[in-house]
């Protein structure tokens, strides 16, 4: 089937080369049973590619099931995908078929596949390799013939490096990778999409569709669209309902564009990974520990040599900076170079009053301990509200549930 026919059949708008290439690959692999991984930013329309593949395949008369892996709780996702037997867990009052059993002979679309728990990833890998799975609470092996198409907006190499996703499963899923371009790389398609959405919402709300003036079109094309097609569609619907005038000028259009994120995607190269704040914190701790170790060695050397040690400029600066940090503001205590030290003072046996006795407790630098401590603080800060705590930590709510269970934390 020609690319233009595919676009007309599935309502796909645009002529960007990257979009055409993605559709071309989808039509080529559709007749096969090869696993496909669709990648792209959130809002780029990744869900349309599995539909194209299913409808152009020999499985088009079979079941097509779309599963949002990030929306299913970790404790029930195995049951949803593979089914369960009666009594397998609390509330399992009867046996139930999973999606892989229902979709036998059809296609399953696993959206947000990077959110799958590790245990479920193992089960999925077995299905992909052998076509076999076992229901939760059963020992009977069930065969299935399912085409799997997955999608994600995450950096999978980063997820593999962090231990979040299995490398073998990634290669099994991405036999054929299809990348959908972000809207900012489809500049000539943006106005086409706007006009299509404006016409659709005009029909939906029984009013004339909105139009853009020349300066508004310029703003439309120059905006970076971090939310991609989804953001554009929502914005068109918003303007269609709120504005009484059907001709939208640049000033009016600009009022609907978010100002904080309008250029960030264009300025940041998506291939570059941002520095993790936690890594910066650990680097700071390691550097600080190294400085303290060097300072201890220097103090021991001074005491062992009765103060007769020639300090370098860097050593003097380090010691004086340390004492400035630990002394009260009113103190003028300072380590003097050997030429200015009091020769009558016995540096090898300092007076007891010169040092405050204390017990040194070395701080744990374990990544696991740090992660556990951060989760505790986030839960306390947000009074046990896990959704807000997860947002504060920069992780998904389901990942937070898993970490709470893993570390045996209570909120």
DSSP helix/strand/coil, 70: helix
Of 5-9, 205-209, 274-278, the poorest mean pLDDT is in 274-278
Helix (H) / strand (E) element for 194: namely helix 187-204
Rounded average pLDDT over 120-132? 96
Classified by CATH at the fold level, domain 367-406 comes out as: Arc Repressor Mutant, subunit A (1.10.10)
For 313-354, the pLDDT digits (tens) are 666 666 665 555 545 544 444 445 544 445 554 544 444 444
Residue carrying the six token digits 């264009």: 266
What are the domain boundaries of the chain? Answer: 3-181, 184-267, 277-342, 367-406
Which CATH number is associated with domain 3-181? 3.40.50.300
Query: What number of other Cβ atoms are within 10 A of residue 231's Cβ?
Result: 18
Helix (H) / strand (E) element for 324: namely helix 313-326
Architecture of domain 184-267 in CATH? Orthogonal Bundle (1.10)
- Closest C-alpha to 100, from 119, 73, 77, 118: 77
Query: What number of other Cβ atoms are within 10 A of residue 255's Cβ?
Result: 12
**Which tokens hold the place of 48?**
């349309």
b/e sequence 198-223, b meaning 16+ C-beta within 10 Å: bebbbeeeeeebbebeeebbebbeeb
For 144-176, the pLDDT digits (tens) are 999 999 999 999 999 999 999 999 999 999 999
At residue 262 the predicted structure's pLDDT band, cuts being 50, 70 and 90, is very low
pTM flag (> 0.75): no
């Amino acid at each position: 089937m020609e690319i233009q026919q595919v676009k007309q059949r599935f309502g796909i708008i645009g002529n960007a080369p990257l979009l055409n290439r993605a559709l071309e690959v989808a039509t080529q692999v559709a007749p096969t049973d090869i696993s496909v991984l669709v990648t792209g930013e959130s809002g780029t329309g990744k869900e349309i590619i599995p539909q194209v593949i299913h409808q152009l395949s020999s499985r088009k008369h079979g079941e097509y099931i779309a599963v949002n892996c990030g929306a299913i709780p970790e404790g029930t996702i195995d049951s949803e995908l593979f089914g369960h037997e009666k009594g397998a867990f609390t509330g399992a009052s009867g046996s139930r078929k999973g999606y892989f059993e229902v979709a036998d002979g059809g296609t399953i679309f696993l959206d947000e596949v990077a959110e799958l728990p590790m245990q479920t990833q193992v089960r999925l890998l077995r299905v992909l390799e052998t076509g076999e799975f076992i229901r939760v609470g059963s020992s009977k092996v069930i065969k299935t013939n399912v085409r799997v198409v997955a999608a994600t907006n995450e950096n999978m190499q980063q997820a593999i490096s962090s231990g979040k996703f299995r490398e073998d499963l990634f290669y099994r899923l991405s036999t054929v990778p299809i990348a959908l371009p972000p809207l900012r790389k489809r500049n000539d398609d943006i106005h086409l999409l706007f006009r299509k959405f404006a016409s659709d919402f005009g029909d939906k709300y029984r009013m004339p569709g909105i139009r853009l003036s020349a300066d508004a079109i310029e703003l439309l094309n120059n905006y970076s669209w971090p939310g991609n097609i989804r953001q554009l569609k929502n914005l068109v619907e918003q303007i269609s309902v709120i504005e009484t005038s059907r001709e939208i000028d640049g000033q009016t259009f600009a009022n609907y564009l978010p100002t904080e994120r309008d250029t960030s995607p264009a300025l940041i190269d998506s291939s570059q990974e941002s520095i993790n704040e936690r890594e910066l914190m650990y680097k700071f701790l390691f550097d600080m520990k190294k400085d303290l170790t060097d300072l201890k060695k220097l103090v021991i050397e001074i005491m062992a040599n009765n103060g007769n040690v020639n300090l370098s400029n860097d050593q003097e600066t380090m010691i004086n900076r340390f004492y400035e940090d630990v002394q009260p503001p009113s103190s003028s205590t300072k380590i003097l170079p050997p030429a200015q030290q009091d020769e009558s003072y016995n540096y090898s046996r300092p007076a007891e009053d010169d040092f405050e006795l204390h017990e040194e407790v070395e701080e744990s630098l374990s990544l696991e301990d740090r992660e556990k401590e951060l989760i505790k603080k986030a839960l306390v800060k947000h009074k046990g509200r896990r959704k807000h705590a997860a947002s504060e930590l920069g992780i998904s709510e389901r990942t937070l549930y898993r970490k709470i269970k893993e570390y045996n934390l209570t909120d």
